[in-house]
Amino acid sequence: MKTFFKLNGLTSIFILIVLIGCNKSQDQITKEDNLKSNFVNPKEDVGVLHNEALKYVLENTTEIPITSETKSFVEQILNEKYQNTSLSSIPAFPDNFNDLDPYVWINQFNVSEAYKVEVKKTFDLFRNANNLNEILTSIEDREIQANTIFSGSDLDLYYEHLAVARHTAIFWSPEDQGGLNGIQYVAAGRFKSTKAINWWKVLGVDCVGGCMGGAVGYAGASAISVIMQL
Same domain, 75 and 13: no
Do 187 and 95 belong together in one domain?
Answer: yes
pLDDT of residue 52: 96
Q: What is the DSSP letter of 53?
A: H
Q: Would you tell me how many other CB atoms lie within 10 Å of the CB of residue 45?
A: 12
Whether residue 76 sits in one domain with residue 34:
no
Q: Which residue ranges in the chain fall short of pLDDT 70?
A: 1-37, 188-195, 212-213
Structural domain harbouring 47? 42-227
Q: What is the CA radius of gyration of the chain?
A: 23
Is the same domain home to 48 and 9? no
Question: Do 30 and 121 lie in a common domain?
Answer: no
Q: 44 to each of 77, 161, 167, 175, how far by Cα in Å?
A: 24, 10, 9, 22
Q: Are residues 23 and 116 in the same domain?
A: no
Query: How many separate domains does the chain show?
Result: 2
Mark whether 117 and 63 lie in a shared domain.
yes
Q: Are residues 116 and 197 in the same domain?
A: yes
**pLDDT, tens digit (0-9, with 9 covering 90-100), for 14-51:** 444 444 455 545 554 444 454 456 899 999 999 999 99
Indicate the pTM of the whole model: 0.82
Contact 75, 85 (CB under 8 A): yes
